Amino acid sequence: MFKKFKIPDATIGRLSMYSRYLSEADEKGITTVSSQDIAQATGVTPAQVRKDLAYFGEFGTRGVGYNSRELYTYIMKILGLDKRWSIAIVGAGNLGRALSKYKGFQQRGFDIVCIFDNDPKKIGKKLANINIYPLDQLEEKVKELKIDLGIIAVPASAAQEVADMLVGAGIRGIINFAPINVTVKENIILRRVDLAAQLEYLTYYLEETR
C-alpha cells in the first residue's frame, strides 16, 4: 500500500502511540498539533516524530503543524486500523480470561469473537459474553466467523501445536503469549509477547544506573 522499504518495528510501535495522542487531541478540540506536542505527549524527541512520519510521505505544514484528525486518520490507515479485526483467543486460562476482558482492544478496532479450549468444564461456557468452543472446532469456527488474528494463551507445551492449528485454519497473524518460541511458515506474521522479557528492560536499566 504505502511502503516501499522496510520500516523499523519501533516506528510501528510509536505510530500506535502517536495515534492515541492524536485521537485524544482531536476529542479535546485541538485541531493542530506540532511534532513537539506529539513528542512531549509520547516521550520521544520531535526529530524522531518527524522521521517516523517521513517514512510514509509528507505531512503537515512547516511552521504550523499537523491537522490532528487528518494525521490520526492517516496513521490508523497505515496501521491497518481503518477496519475492524476479528480475533480468536486460544486458551481460556487466566491469561485468556484477562485478554478476553481487556478494555483496550475494542476501542482500537479489535473484536474478540471466540475462545477455544480443550477443557470440557470450560467448553460451552462464556467468558465476557464470548463463547468458548472445543479446540477441535478451531478450523471450522475460524472460517465460519471469519477470524483474522489468533492469540495463543496456552501453556508452553501446547503452544506450537496451537500455532500449527491456527495457520492450518488460514489465520495469517498470530500473537504468542506462551513463554516459548513457536515457528510458523514465512508468510505468517507472528509476534511473541514475552512478559518476562518486559521485566528485563527494567532490570537492565536499573542495573545500569545503580
Which of 30, 47, 54, 193 forms a contact with a second copy (CB under 8 A)?
193
Residue 124 interacts with a second copy (CB under 8 A): yes or no: no
Here the contacts of 98-105 (C-beta below 8 Å, separation 24 or greater) are 99/151, 99/153, 99/177, 100/127, 100/128, 100/130, 101/127, 101/128
Instruction: Judge residue 154's burial from the number of C-beta atoms within 10 Å of its C-beta, 0-12 exposed, 13-18 middle, 19 or more buried.
Output: buried
CA angle 127, 128, 133 (to 5 degrees): 35
Which residues in 155-174 contact a second copy (CB under 8 A)?
155-156, 172-174
Measured CA to CA, the distance from residue 147 to residue 172 in angstroms comes to 10
Closest CA to 93 of 147, 139, 152, 145: 152
Minimum distance between the CB of residue 197 and a second copy, rounded to whole angstroms? 4
What is the number of other CB atoms lying within 10 angstroms of the CB of residue 162?
25
Contact residue for a second copy among 95, 147, 162, 182 (CB under 8 A)? 95
With respect to a second copy, which residue has the nearer C-beta, 111 or 136? 111
Provide the strand spans (E) within 78-118: 85-90, 110-117
Rule CB under 8 A: is residue 33 a binding residue for a second copy?
no
Given candidates 18, 72, 74, 110, which one binds a second copy under the rule CB under 8 A? 110
Name the segment binding a second copy (CB under 8 A); options: 49-57, 86-94, 114-122, 130-138.
86-94
Which residue, 81 or 145, is less far from a second copy as judged by CB? Answer: 81
Chain contacts with a second copy (rule: CB under 8 A): 1, 3, 9-10, 12-13, 15-17, 20, 41-42, 78-81, 85, 87, 93-95, 97-99, 101-105, 107-108, 110, 148-149, 155-156, 172-175, 179, 181, 187, 189, 191, 193-210
